[in-house]
Amino acid sequence: MIKIGQSLILWKAKKQTTVSRSSAEAEYRSLASTVSKLVWLLGLLKEVGTKIQIPVHIYSDSKAAIQIAANPVYHERTKHIEIDCHFIREKLQKGLIKVEYISNKEQPADTISPLIKTTLIMKILLLSCFLYFTLFQTIKSEPVLDTNNEQVRPGYTYYILPAASAGSGGGLTLAKGENGSCPLDVFQARNSQSLGIPLKFLMVNSSAGLVIDENEDINIKFAAQRYVSICNVSTVWKIEDGIVTTGGIKGGSENGTSTSLFTIQKYEDAYALQYCPRATGCSFICPRLLCGYIGILTAENGSRHLAVNRPVFKIVFRKA
């Protein structure tokens, strides 16, 4: 089982294609298979611009398999394991992964085994519910700060400016896209001295606080009402075909995913916007789908379009 945050994205249960001589060897082969898929997944996430904290923690309930992976000495008991299986050790030495022990009573991967007891599954479900409501609903990230080092607040108007300009220009504006039709798309102003159009951040969670926190679900909306009449749609941001455009819905439930949900992330010495849709229609907890950073897509005519999964657009917030 492989998870990003609290979201399960990969899982597999099957008989091994080779006969293992011991339970330790079987566990080690399973560990090798997991690391192989993890290396592929990290490469994919890197390609789409998603930042992953290294090392990645891998949990195994076999102390013998962990010792084989960590010990550079080949013993008589491990000679029959193929050399290529030992690429786990290479990833350990490079700091890409960290293998840790977890008891078999707490191993979540056992839930997909046909021999697992129903009571263990119920315990894991109850524990997940408890963690979600007691931890993830109460732990707050750091508040987002503007260029005056003041907390960014919902409903107030701000300019989103490139960090490279030190908050002096190159803001965001609205214009029709390449096809010249509605809705209006979001661009970076070509004039490096322009602050652009002011925006507001809208809280999605009604129980949220009075400030915008990092990693908190928000809607983003242009504050200038005159642009509403141009296309007769809202100025709430949404993602359409990978492009940041307008016409979104507050809360953002469209076509099975929440296309108007964004978060603000700390990125190096500045901030960055992330598009973080959530699955809709689930009856209990709606997990986030794969998030992507908002960047700049430069067209042949020089226009700078905001788009998802492009080189990260590092930004700051200046109060209007």
**What DSSP letter does each residue of the chain carry, written as one string?**
-EEETTEEEE------SS--SSHHHHHHHHHHHHHHHHHHHHHHHHHTT----SSEEEEES-HHHHHHHH--SPPGGGTTS-GGGGHHHHHHHTTSEEEEE--TTT-GGGGGSTT--HHHHHHHHHHHHHHIIIIITT---PBPB-TTS-B--TTSEEEEEEGGGTTSS--EEEE--TT--SSPEEEE-SSTT--B--EEEEESSTT--SSPBTT--EEEEE--GGGHHHHTS--B-EEETTEEES---TT-EETTEETT-EEEEEETTEEEEEE--BB-S-SS---B---EEEEEEE-TTS-EEEEETSSB--EEEEE-
User: Does one domain contain both 87 and 191?
Assistant: no
User: Does one domain contain both 197 and 86?
Assistant: no
User: Does one domain contain both 161 and 287?
Assistant: yes
How much is the pLDDT for 107? 60
User: Does one domain contain both 161 and 308?
Assistant: yes
Structural domain count, the chain: 2
Residues 6+ apart with CB under 8 A from 311: 49, 295, 296
How much is the pLDDT for 118? 52
146 belongs to a structural domain: no
Assess contact for 252 and 261: CB atoms under 8 A: yes
134 belongs to a structural domain: no
Tell me whether residue 176 is exposed, middle or buried, using C-beta atoms within 10 angstroms of its C-beta: 0 to 12, 13 to 18, 19 or more. middle
Mean pLDDT, residues 133-152 taken together: 74
The pLDDT of residue 298 is above 60: yes
Q: For residue 26, which of 57, 1, 58, 62 has the smallest C-alpha distance?
A: 62
User: Does one domain contain both 169 and 278?
Assistant: yes
The pLDDT of residue 156 is above 80: yes
Q: For residue 91, which of 43, 24, 20 has the smallest C-alpha distance?
A: 43
Radius of gyration of the chain (CA): 24
User: Does one domain contain both 172 and 93?
Assistant: no
* Per-residue confidence band for 163, with pLDDT thresholds at 50, 70 and 90: very high
User: Does one domain contain both 172 and 97?
Assistant: no
pLDDT, one tens digit per residue, over 218-238 is 999 998 777 766 778 888 999
The pLDDT of residue 148 is above 90: yes
Assess contact for 239 and 259: CB atoms under 8 A: yes
Instruction: State which amino acid sits at residue 189.
Output: A
125 belongs to a structural domain: no
DSSP code per residue over 130-190: HHIIIIITT---PBPB-TTS-B--TTSEEEEEEGGGTTSS--EEEE--TT--SSPEEEE-S
How much is the pLDDT for 314? 94
Output the CA–CA distances (angstroms, integers) from residue 126 to 12, 104, 118, 194, 262, in the order listed: 23, 18, 12, 53, 29
* Per-residue confidence band for 139, with pLDDT thresholds at 50, 70 and 90: very low
The pLDDT of residue 295 is above 80: yes
143 belongs to a structural domain: no
Q: Where in the sequence is the domain holding 188, given as residue range(s)?
A: 157-319
User: Does one domain contain both 174 and 305?
Assistant: yes
> Can you give the CATH number for the domain in which 179 is found?
2.80.10.50
Assess contact for 160 and 172: CB atoms under 8 A: yes
User: Does one domain contain both 187 and 54?
Assistant: no
Q: 255 vs 69, which has greater pLDDT? A: 69
The pLDDT of residue 158 is above 80: yes
270 belongs to a structural domain: yes
* Per-residue confidence band for 78, with pLDDT thresholds at 50, 70 and 90: low
User: Does one domain contain both 222 and 82?
Assistant: no
User: Does one domain contain both 224 and 312?
Assistant: yes
Q: 145 vs 4, which has greater pLDDT? A: 145
User: Does one domain contain both 204 and 55?
Assistant: no
113 belongs to a structural domain: no
User: What's the whole-model pTM score?
Assistant: 0.55
How much is the pLDDT for 133? 47
96 belongs to a structural domain: yes
Percent of the chain with pLDDT over 90: 21
How much is the pLDDT for 82? 55
**Of the ranges 59-68, 76-85, 168-177, 291-300, which one carries the lowest mean pLDDT score?**
76-85
How much is the pLDDT for 220? 94
133 belongs to a structural domain: no
* Per-residue confidence band for 45, with pLDDT thresholds at 50, 70 and 90: confident
Task: Provide the CB-side half-sphere exposure for 301 (13 A, CA).
Answer: 6
Instruction: State which amino acid sits at residue 192.
Output: S
